[in-house]
Structure 1
């Protein structure tokens, strides 16, 4: 009964919101799998009224100092390859789901991509040539499949800050082969220093901002935690005349979920479904009514819905948890 009590309260709150939330991007991040996507995989997230999906093929780097990107090989999972991304997009488009193609880099042992930085000019040149090949491959795929948005990079702060002219040149190259909208997925503490927003169509932010030290923060505590961040984000949107897109947003279903929302470790913090629900409510209520805000992509959604998430899981996915119902109710009314 408790679960349905707070769902009813949330639905009543939504009925009072303004109409400015209409036509936002209500997205999910469609996790690359070993397998092909089939209709039942899409049906599961259509039930929460998502209208966009991020498709995420991967390139791999052996070391934080390595300049070579390895991608589209037979050693990768199907969904991480160009062929897998194409199949996912084709199925999504057959279901009238709009697509953001979001090629990403994975560094061996999960090292943070923001630290990718070369030590010599020679290695920078090799990395740039390798990244050109990687990104232009997927720019052509985005054009071929008519993906609505292409994300040109994810959380690559050192690469961006050390080679800003490279990125401006890359954007020009991409524009020659891809005619849709462009964004870049900056980390939550990176976006203010990203130099090329006015060359793109959206300010992209992976929105893992620290909001509260509480074990189970209330919606009001979380909204209060958003205030200083929101002011800065809104100011940048005004300064650049670009809408803000949360290229990733989400919270783990665990204690202290809003203290360090970026954590991906397998820690032992207790499962806390209420904290995840409250954090979802707060972000929806704070941002989806803003005219300068374009929407976002929930992190993250696995293909095999029946086996994903659940009441004993403290990870990001909202699948088979009360947070899934919150997303469904909000996306349905938006």
Structure 2
């Protein structure tokens, strides 16, 4: 598999957002300023609570199908390869890793079978689009930690996706969870979220390598990055951390991450987090404490790394 020099684009984009000229301008800037060769379109369906079985992927919180297709076509015109990543969020703010149900069915309680039926319908909807648009890869889930023990259901889901999509399939497990997924043999590519502390990359990379080696499959970090915020380099996964904008700390994190991973031949790339469809004004970059890298020192670090890869 070729090295994925990727970025996640348009996270939490709503209906109409991909039709705006700003979105296309943003994607063009992503290509020009980072030298990415892949874009990951991450979609965010909603369920009411972590214990709800209904998944809404048709309301105004999602870009519609025509918008997505149009943006995929535009990405192609920029010579970007495309990965589709249908994700689910919880409306009440609970992190999706906590979506969970009883392992034994109980009357009047929500059931795994109902959730997986609806989740599979959601995945298949976008897998068909991915197939029609010849997308290079499809990510069947992201950081669904409590669901991962349901091996039989995940295998069935992947088989169902394969029935409509012929490209590469992966699943994006969360940081530290690489060894807990027992069905890596069912996917084509292994991936995880690489939000590891700046001072812990060596230990974590050694651990991950030992886990994935027996599968003999490509691996990439489907997410990785760090907010430009004081303290974030030690907890890069904590988007809610309180701290002042600190562009240098983000820059140092990217330098360290790329230095440690570049010598590991088994790592086949990144889907960095993240690039907005509606960028902040460049004059405000110095005040931005989020994951974005537009007009920040990290942007140049990424471009240099991706250019040399």
Question: Common fold, TM-score beyond 0.5?
Answer: yes
Shift of 1:174: 1.0
Give distance in 1, aligned partners of 2:144 and 2:217. 20
Deviating runs (4+, > 6 A) in structure 1? none
Shift of 1:25: 0.7
* Number of residue pairs aligned between Structure 1 and Structure 2: 296
Equivalent of 1:315, from 290, 294, 297?
290
Shift of 1:268: 3.4
Q: Deviations over 1:72-97 (max 9, x none)?
A: 22x2243xx43332222121112220
Please tell me whether the aligned partners of residues 175 and 193 of structure 2 are also in contact (alpha carbons under 8 angstroms): yes
Q: Does 1:284 align with 2:258?
A: yes
- The aligned runs of 1:1-334 (5 Å cut-off) are 23-32=2-11, 33-34=13-14, 35-36=17-18, 38=21, 39-47=24-32, 48-73=34-59, 75-78=60-63, 81-119=64-102, 121=105, 123-161=111-149, 163-211=150-198, 222=199, 225-265=200-240, 267-305=241-279, 307=281, 310-334=285-309
Please tell me whether the aligned partners of residues 44 and 305 of structure 1 are also in contact (alpha carbons under 8 angstroms): no
Q: Deviations over 1:156-198 (max 9, x none)?
A: 111121x210101111111111111111111002221011111
Give distance in 2, aligned partners of 1:28 and 1:251. 13
Give distance in 2, aligned partners of 1:124 and 1:70. 17
Give distance in 2, aligned partners of 1:76 and 1:305. 19
Please tell me whether the aligned partners of residues 42 and 86 of structure 2 are also in contact (alpha carbons under 8 angstroms): yes
Query: SS of the residue aligned with 1:208?
Result: coil
1:13 maps to which residue? none
Give distance in 2, aligned partners of 1:84 and 1:56. 13
Give distance in 1, aligned partners of 2:197 and 2:305. 23
Q: TM-score, normalization: structure 2?
A: 0.90
Shift of 1:291: 2.0
Listed as ranges, the gaps of 5+ residues in structure 2 are none
- RMSD (Å) for aligned C-alpha atoms: 1.8
Please tell me whether the aligned partners of residues 18 and 277 of structure 2 are also in contact (alpha carbons under 8 angstroms): no
